[in-house]
Amino acid sequence: MTTADLHTLTGAYALHALDPAEQAEFERHLDACPACAQEVRELSATAARLGLAVGVVPPEGFKESVLHRIDSVRQEPPRTSASAAVAGARRRGLQVSRWTLAACLAAVAALGGTTVWQHIEARDARQEAREAQQATDQVADVLAAPDAKVRTARLTGGASGTVVVSEDRDKAVFVAASMARPPSGKVYQLWFDDGGTMRSAGLMDPRRTAQSVLMAGSVGDASGMGITVEPAGGSQHPTSDPVALMELPA
């Protein structure tokens, strides 16, 4: 397994989704990679908080079904650009694997970027860690809110989007999975829909295909949200057709 592959396993490791050999190799990597170690700490802390957000009684036989799938479903390797199209077509017809499950939850929890961590000075890394932890805490606070409501929708290109709203916090979190990167020099911008008037709710990281974003500003009277492709830095008003439009959960 290459070093690049190991960098992608932080989410799976935090969720205990690696087999013993992979876990041992990744733990050796952690000893030499402060970036991954920091990301694992953040993902583990956030996953623990998310566990408090919803409590449900599992259906009969659920445990046996999960244990059976862990032993019988082959873990998918990280996808390359050459295999992305084939993997996308097969994904719709296959059961979700351990790797996909880990990646989806990691998308909710992950807010830092490993590549960035490896190329900044230690002082900047500490500041980045504090900001990432603060952002993680804010996202977790909304997700774990007692009144949190959730709505999920399929987006273009096989992506999915989930919006979580807490009326008490007057905040919303948008969680994206498998989103295509925007064109060079462009960025995805989030919007609140205030009765047909779009209000900016912040930008998504153009380098990440899976991420969670605390939407900027209060939810207020917004009934929906949208995503557009805008010039780097964002726009005051949407300048493109919407990539996605979603109603907020009532």
Buried b (16+ CB within 10 A) or exposed e, 71-104: eebeebeeeeeeeeeeeeeebeeeeebbbbbbbb
Q: What is the pLDDT of residue 72?
A: 60
pTM of the model: 0.53
Enumerate the β-bridge partners of residue 213: 174
Please give the C-alpha separations between residue 152 and each of 165, 175, 177, in angstroms, as whole numbers: 12, 9, 11
> In 73-206, which ranges are continuous DSSP H helix?
84-91, 98-109, 114-117, 122-143
- Please identify which residue in the block is written with the tokens 């939810």: 219
Q: What is the pLDDT of residue 45?
A: 64
Q: What is the pLDDT of residue 166?
A: 93
> What parts of the chain have a pLDDT lower than 50?
52, 54-56, 79-101, 104-105, 108-121
Q: Domain map of the chain by residue range?
A: 3-143, 149-247
Nearest to 14 by CA among 69, 57, 51, 68: 51
Nearest to 106 by CA among 1, 18, 32, 8: 8
Q: What is the pLDDT of residue 219?
A: 96
Q: What is the pLDDT of residue 115?
A: 41
Spatial separation of the C-alpha atoms in residues 102 and 33, rounded to whole Å: 21
Q: What is the pLDDT of residue 245?
A: 93
Spatial separation of the C-alpha atoms in residues 82 and 71, rounded to whole Å: 28
Work out the burial of residue 136: count CB atoms within 10 Å of its CB; fewer than 13 is exposed, 13-18 middle, 19 or more buried: buried
Q: pLDDT for 128-146, tens place per residue? A: 667 777 778 888 888 888 8
- Residues sharing a CB contact under 8 Å with residue 91, sequence separation 6 or more, in sequence order: 100, 158
